[in-house]
Amino acid sequence: MFQLENLVVQHVLEIDDLSLEENVISIEGQSGSGKSTLLRLLNNLDDPTSGKIYFKQKNIEDISPLELRKKVAMLPQSTVIFDGSIRDNLTIGLTFSNQAPATEEALQQMLDNLWISHSLDTNASDLSGGEQQRIALGRILLMKEAEVFLLDEPSSDLDDRTTDHVMKKFIDIAKEAGQQIIMVTHDQHVSEKFADVVVNMDPYSKRIKDWSE
């Protein structure tokens, strides 16, 4: 869905040509290689020094930020939890983007998918770091108008068993809805198990996963 051409962010990254079309794409690289910057560029949160970014063949500079972020939902590296209940935190993304509200059944199903055993009325600030990260994942997964999910270290606060379950659920639900996932992760296991394509930022390269490996 994305095409990058002659993209430069001074002293951070340089990409001559990159197409991001596959279902699940993992962005890897050392600290400072520009991984998080790349996600922010795709969400039009940062501006490149030069070059162009196209979303579905349209320059993102010609797409209003509100409309772009309805279609391209981002999970930042630092988990954002708002004052209020789990329900409030799951639905606030829908409210901000003027999307249809989720049903109680859909919210409860999301908790089950994310292995959250608390009531929807539980204060979100009382949750552990890993639970808060899962709520943040659920928040964007409920955004049914989104066509792309940008995930910055989505499993950083999760143990291996929870990571396997939650990432599989997230990816299965997104794939069923035809939604693309572009994720930054330091977790090699997550890339190897779930990504269709790996983009390595140091040195820059793109590798289609060989499932026979």
Q: What is the pLDDT of residues 110-163, one digit of tens each?
A: 999 999 999 999 999 999 999 999 999 999 999 999 999 999 999 999 999 999
Q: In this model, does residue 196 exceed pLDDT 80?
A: yes
pLDDT band of 202, cuts 50, 70, 90: confident
The answer to whether residue 128 sits within a structural domain is yes
Strand order in the sheet with 58-59: 13-20, 2-9, 50-55, 58-59
Q: In this model, does residue 165 exceed pLDDT 50?
A: yes
Report the C-alpha gap between 116 and 67 in whole angstroms.
31
Axis-axis angle for helices 104-113, 129-141 (nearest 10): 130
The pLDDT value recorded for residue 204 is 62
Q: Are 38 and 201 in contact (CB under 8 A)?
A: yes
The answer to whether residue 17 sits within a structural domain is no
Q: What mean pLDDT comes out for the span 39-45?
A: 96
What global pTM score does this model have? 0.92
The answer to whether residue 69 sits within a structural domain is yes
Q: What mean pLDDT comes out for the span 177-202?
A: 92
| % of the chain beyond a pLDDT of 90 | 83
The answer to whether residue 4 sits within a structural domain is no
The answer to whether residue 29 sits within a structural domain is yes
Q: What is the overall mean pLDDT for the chain?
A: 92
Does residue 48 have a cis peptide bond before it, meaning omega lies within 30 degrees of 0? no
pLDDT digits (tens, 9 = 90+) for 171-182: 999 999 999 999
Residue 209, phi then psi, degrees to nearest 5: -65, 135
One-letter amino acid identity for 42?
L
CATH number, domain of 77, equals 3.40.50.300
Closest CA to 56 of 46, 42, 76: 42
Q: In this model, does residue 211 exceed pLDDT 50?
A: no
The pLDDT value recorded for residue 132 is 97
The answer to whether residue 56 sits within a structural domain is no
Q: Which domain holds residue 182?
A: 22-47+63-208
Q: In this model, does residue 210 exceed pLDDT 50?
A: no
According to DSSP, the residues that pair with 73 across neighbouring strands are: 149
Q: In this model, does residue 205 exceed pLDDT 80?
A: no
The answer to whether residue 2 sits within a structural domain is no
Q: In this model, does residue 189 exceed pLDDT 50?
A: yes
Distance between alpha carbon 18 and the CA centroid of its chain, in Å? 18
Cα–Cα distances in angstroms (integers) from residue 45 to residues 37, 39, 40, 94, 118, in the given order: 9, 9, 5, 19, 33
The answer to whether residue 108 sits within a structural domain is yes
Distance between alpha carbon 80 and the CA centroid of its chain, in Å? 13
Structural domain count of the chain: 1
Q: In this model, does residue 209 exceed pLDDT 60?
A: no
For the ranges 63-67, 103-107, 197-201, 209-213, the lowest mean pLDDT is seen at 209-213
